[in-house]
Structure 1
Amino acid sequence: MARDGVVVSFFIPHDHRTVAQECWRALQTYFRAIPPQSLNWYGADDGDVLELDADGWDVTRKKMLDCTWALAWHIGLSDLPGGTGGYQFEYHGLNLDNPIHGAPATAISFTFPTEYLLEQGPQRMRALVLELARELPFHFGYASFALVSRDGSWTAGDWKLLEKYSARYLGVDLSTSADIGYVIGTHALGAHWLTFLGLPLLDRLGGADALRQALPFPEVSFLPMEQERLLLTLSEWPEAIDIEQAPIPPQYRALACFLKPFMYESGEDGIGRYLDRWRRRLCP
C-alpha cells in the first residue's frame, strides 16, 4: 500500500485558473530531474489507469492548461500502475469560489524514492525542491520523509502496523494532499525538513523576524524568497526522528510549537481525530 520516500507538497491559496501555468512548469521541472521512464501511467477521468505515452501527455496538458470550466482538476501520474514505486505527481486544482469547497487550496505534490535522495545527496535534493517552489505562490509547503502511496492509499493498509510505525518515526509524513487541499484554507501542517511559508500565513506568524527569534538553532537556515516567501531548513538531511534512538530534535519541536496555533484541525471523529493528533505529534 505504501513505501518509504520523500514527499514534496505545496498548498496554494489561488484558483486553478490562476496558477495552472506555474504548476505545469513545476511538473516539467520534476520530469526533467527524475530518471527516464519514471512516470509511465496516468489516472483517467473514469478511474482507469492508462499508459502515459505521447497521447497521455497531451491529455494531461490539455486537462491542466486548456480545461477552464470544471469545478476541480485532478491529475495523477506514477511510475507503477498501483502508484507505490516512489515517483508520483499529484495535482488537485480547485475552483476556490465554489461554495461546496469548505476552505480549499490548490494542492500539488511530487514524490521520490529514498534511493533518489541517497544518490543525489541533501544539497542537490534541496536545490531541486527550491526550483519546484520558485514560481508557486504557496502559503505553505514542505519536503519530508514520508509513506509514499497513491492518493493517500496508505489508509487502506494494516492500521496496527501503521500506528506502531508512525508512533516511532515522528519525522515520516502521512501524505494526503488530495483530501487536505479541500480543507486546509491558509493553515500550516507542521514542521518538516524543508518548511515553506508564504502569504498570508507568513504575515499571521509575525514574519521572518518572529521565526528567527523562535528558532535560534545553528542547524536552522532561513532563505528569503521572492513574493514574500520563506524557506526554513531544519537539518542537513531530512530526519525520520526515530524516538527509540534519540529525542525529537529541538529545532523541529520549536517550529512545531510555533506553528501549532496556525495548524489545520479537522475537529472530526474517527480518522480525522487520529490525523489531528498525529499532525501535532512534535508538539502535543
Structure 2
Amino acid sequence: MPNRTHTKRHPHDDAPDTADAFRELAALPAGPRRDALRARIVEAWLPMADRLAGRFRNRGENHEDLRQVAALGLVKAVDRYDPARGHAFESYAVPTVTGEIKRHFRDHMWTLHVPRRVQDLRNRVRIAGQELSQTVSGRSPTVAEMAERAQLSEEDVRTGLEALESFSALSLDAELPGSEDGYSLSDALGAVDPALATVVDREAVRPRLAALPERERAILYMRFFGDMTQSRIAEQLGISQMHVSRLISRCCDRLREQVLREPLR
C-alpha cells in the first residue's frame, strides 16, 4: 500500500499552512536564509497571537503592550517547536503564547506580590462576578452567589475580592475621596517616633536616677531636662562651674556602668 501523509487541520479557518516551512526551517543551518524563513513564519502566525492577546482586554494593561507580549511568546514558540514530534504547531503555540501573557501579568502588572493561588482566586471571582452581573439587576452579586457560581467557598471568594484591590496601588499623592482641600494619603501617614529608640534606655536608667543623692539628681535634671548651662546651675547651687562639670561626668559614668553591668528586671 502506498504511504499517505495525513495533515492535521487547524481549528481556525485562517490558520496558515506552515508545516513544510517548519520542516525546512529545522533542516537549515544558522544564517540569513534561515532568519528570513523564520521571520515569514512568525509573520504568518501573528494574527493568531493578536487574537490570544485580545482575550486579555480590559484587565488593566494596554492592548498594544499585550500584542507585543503575545508576539514575543510566538517567537519563542517558533524557535522551540519541533515538527518531528508530529504535533500541529498551533497546539504548541497557543499555550506558549498564553503562558507568556499570563507571566507578563504576574511579573509586571501586580503592584503587590500576591501568591499564585490568590491570583487564580481573583480571576475566578472576577469571571463569576462578570457573569452574574448579566443575570442580576440593580445590585452587585453577593459573596454567596459568586461562591456558588465559581464553585468556591465564601472565604475564598472574599480572598479573591481582596486581591482585586491588590492589582494596582493608589499613589500616596492621590487626593482622598471627598477631600476638598487637596488632602492626600501621604498626609494621613504617621512618622516614626524618634523617641522609640530611647525607650529601653530611659526605662533602664530610671531606677538608677531615683537612687542618686538629691543634689546630683537635681543637677542632672536642670542640665538635661531644664536645658540649663553649667554656669547657671553653679550659680543657683552656689558652687563652681568646674565642680558642676565633674559631678555631671561622674554621675553619667556611674549610671552607664550600672546599666551595663546589671540588666533591668
**Bin of the TM-score, shorter chain as denominator length:** under 0.3
Which structure features the higher share of strand residues?
1
Q: Using structure 1 for the length normalisation, give the TM-score.
A: 0.23
Q: Using structure 2 for the length normalisation, give the TM-score.
A: 0.24
Whichever of the two has the greater Rg, that structure is 2
Larger relative contact order (Cα-Cα within 8 Å, sequence gap ≥ 6):
1
